[in-house]
Chain A
């Protein structure tokens, strides 16, 4: 085995045995995206999708995604509307005075959150997506910082 091959094996070994934490890339992207902004964003990480609820890719599927930071929970139900677009129904617990913003490569849309913590987005194209929770008003008695999800596929 040449030195080059041996080093390739060593790389593979360390990559397998001591991999970077799963959420490292996402937290860096969040840190970079929010760098220099006045508002701080706490990252909501995605929990493993409940298999029974996870839709099969195809035509009539519905998928459930859940994000949390330990206190705040956000549940998303994603439905395919047949025209290649998605409908997203969200539920935030506990409900807080925030606005939710959905960003994709070149677009963003915002939606308000009902007092019960519900929100919805319609006609969203598929693709890499991130949600941002923005605090509505100062002194609302809620969170003093925003939240953002790791990027996920719609």
Chain B
């Protein structure tokens, strides 16, 4: 499955390209396990942004999301023995983060609608959200279209976008969906997004 891996020529430095990230995480983890304490910094810097998006996709508020990401790292240092293959560390981290997020979301009395929450963050940063949408052009349009999707679609697309090889069985459990339905649902969500994007071609 090619989804997690971008071969786009238009990649920018800030594009958190998953292939590069996964490789870097594996190397750092291996170095850390062989006694190079500093390598943990690299691992944390590399994987924390990914974990952030995976956790936020579960509808946790900003503060709760920070806590979940932090406990994911504390779990790693106490249980890293269970990771036999260093290349599995990124997947192990995202799975653990999703599990923790799910646990906290279940316990929480009220989860946030993350898209509204993002709207607020954007508005706080830059003034009116509408202005931002226009100003950011293609990205603003993409965001406008994503917001027309159901919350479930938004979550699923966000998780899939940031994971290398999404574990559909696990995601199904986390989103309260039947296992076999994730693939088709992902397809439907993508189709809806493409419909919404419509005739307006995203610039190269």
Contact = CB atoms under 8 A, between A and B. Distances in A.
A11 B162 CA distance: 7
Q: Classify chain B's interface size.
A: 35 or more
A62 interface: no
A4 B3 CA distance: 5
Given A12-B12, A28-B70, A4 B2 contact: yes
A8 B73 contact: no
A38 B204 CA distance: 54
A6 interface: yes
A21 interface: yes
Interface residues of A, number: 30
Contacts of A112: none
A29 interface: yes
Nearest to B71: A31
B69 A8 contact: no
A35 B4 CA distance: 33
A99 interface: no
Interface in A1-44: 1, 3-21, 24-25, 27-29, 31-32, 35
B114 A18 contact: yes
Contact of B66 (A5, A24, A32, A35): A24
B118 A1 contact: no
A90 B44 CA distance: 29
A105 interface: yes
Contact of B73 (A19, A21, A28): A28
A116 B54 CA distance: 47
Nearest to A105: B38
A6 B56 contact: no
Interface stretch (B94-102, B138-146, B170-178): B138-146
B121 A11 contact: no
Given A17-B121, A21-B66, A12 B48 contact: no
Contact of B161 (A10, A31, A32): A10
A11 B73 contact: no
Contacts of B146: 10, 13
3 residue pairs, one from A and one from B, having the closest CB atoms: A20-B52, A8-B6, A10-B161
Interface of B: 2-8, 10-12, 14-18, 38, 40-41, 44-45, 48-49, 52-53, 56, 62, 66, 69-70, 73-74, 77, 114, 117-118, 121-122, 136, 138-139, 142-143, 146, 157-158, 160-162, 190, 193-194, 202
30 contacts: A4-B6, A5-B6, A8-B17, A9-B138, A10-B146, A10-B157, A10-B161, A11-B15, A11-B53, A12-B12, A12-B15, A15-B14, A15-B16, A15-B49, A17-B118, A17-B122, A17-B139, A17-B143, A18-B53, A18-B117, A18-B118, A19-B49, A20-B49, A25-B45, A28-B69, A29-B44, A31-B74, A32-B44, A32-B73, A105-B38
